[in-house]
Amino acid sequence: MYKVFVNDKPLFLTNKVSKETDFQLFLLETVDIEQLIVKMFNNKIKKAFLYYPDEKEILKKVKEKIPVKKAGGGLVYNAEGKVLFIFRNGKWDLPKGGVEKGEENEAAALREVEEETGVTNLMLKEKLQKTYHVFYRNGKYRLKITHWYKMTTNFVGTPIPQENEGIEKVAWLDKQEIQEALKNSYENIKLLFEPNLDNHSEY
């Protein structure tokens, strides 16, 4: 099952029908996906399931109905075990950005972290889960698939927010501060911390 966020509300892509009653179920084959997205953006639908019998094909089918934009981002730890956050559009977020034509996902993630925060000496450690969310730009809804990577750095300077990307500040946050920041963050960012908060030795 995939979890796609539309205006921070979950749209589950599933090949199973459960007996829950607090959601609306749509058939992927016949749904007007744009109409569904509009309703979720307008808070008319809080949670929805898109059903398709073949789980391996489900994401491919969604991609046929909505344009996809790939992005790369980093969950970056410094030598003190703090995590690099950016503050943009009134919310705490992690540095990420679009993958350029011909660019590898890993390279895009490293480049975007450095551009958005000014932090250098980044080392890729491991691939984390992908996140999925729908955004609206230039009159079209698009599905953003972000490839996340755990990174470390021995950077000791002052991070510099990329102001022309709307980033107001960059901060290294400790475990306690992360818990607070996640209260004012995005659902797909919270997903990255669910398996990490207790398992990572950096803390």
Structural domain includes residue 198? no
Q: Give the range of the structural domain holding residue 113, as residue numbers without chain letter.
A: 68-193
Both 100 and 180 in one domain: the answer is yes
Both 34 and 72 in one domain: the answer is no
Average per-residue pLDDT in the chain? 92
Structural domain includes residue 103? yes
| φ and ψ of 180, to 5 deg | -70, -45
Both 59 and 72 in one domain: the answer is no
Residue 36, pLDDT > 90, answer: yes
Distance between first and last Cα of the chain: 30
Both 98 and 115 in one domain: the answer is yes
Both 79 and 42 in one domain: the answer is no
Given a contact cutoff of 8 angstroms between Cβ atoms, the answer to whether 139 and 38 are in contact is no
- Among 65, 82, 114, the domain-final residue is 65
Structural domain includes residue 199? no
pTM of the model: 0.90
Both 54 and 109 in one domain: the answer is no
Compute the average pLDDT of residues 188-199: 73
Per-residue confidence (pLDDT) for residue 185, from 0 to 100: 97
Both 79 and 169 in one domain: the answer is yes
Per-residue confidence (pLDDT) for residue 198, from 0 to 100: 42
